[in-house]
Amino acid sequence: MNLGVIGYGLRMRTVIGEIMKLDPSCQVTAVVDLNNNAISARMREQGTEDIRFYTSTEEMLDAERLDGVLVGTRCSLHTEMALKIMPRGIPLFLEKPVSTNMEDLLRLKRAYDDLHSPVVVSFPLRMTTIVKSVKEIVDSGKIGTVEHVQAVNNVPYGSVYFQSWYRDESITGGLFLQKATHDFDYINHVLQYKPIEVCAMTSKQVFKGTKPAELKCKDCEEKHTCADSKAFKTGEEGDWEYCCFAEDTGNEDSGSAIIRYESGMHVSYSHNFFARREAGRRGARFLGYKGTVEFDFIKGKIMVMMHHTPRVETYEFEAGKGHYGGDAALAENFVRMMKNGASSQSSLEDGLTSALMCLKARESAISRQFQAIGWDF
**Residue bearing the bigger pLDDT, 57 or 37:** 57
What is the average pLDDT across 137-154? 98
Q: What is the DSSP string of 346-375?
A: S-HHHHHHHHHHHHHHHHHHHHTS-EE-SS
What is the average pLDDT across 35-58? 80
Domain assignments of the chain as residue spans, ordered by start:
2-123+327-345, 125-206+251-320+355-372, 209-248
Output the pLDDT for position 233: 67
The CATH class, in words, for 2-123+327-345 is alpha beta
Per-residue pLDDT band for 231 (boundaries 50, 70, 90) equals: confident
Please indicate whether the domains covering 2-123+327-345 and 125-206+251-320+355-372 agree at the CATH topology level. Answer: no
pLDDT 10s digits, 280-311: 999 999 999 999 999 999 999 999 999 999 99
Question: What does pTM read for this prediction?
Answer: 0.93
- Go through 152-172 and write b for each residue having 16 or more CB atoms within 10 A of its CB, e for each that does not: bbbbbebbbbbbeebbebeeb
Alpha helices in 51-197 (DSSP H): 57-63, 78-85, 102-115, 129-139, 160-163, 169-172, 175, 181-191
Does residue 237 have a pLDDT over 60? no
The CATH number of 125-206+251-320+355-372, from 3.40.50.920, 3.40.50.720, 3.40.50.300, 3.30.360.10, is: 3.30.360.10
Q: What is the mean pLDDT of the chain?
A: 93
Per-residue pLDDT band for 322 (boundaries 50, 70, 90) equals: low
What is the average pLDDT across 19-27? 93
Alpha carbon 224 to its chain's center: 33
DSSP H or E run through 327? helix 326-340
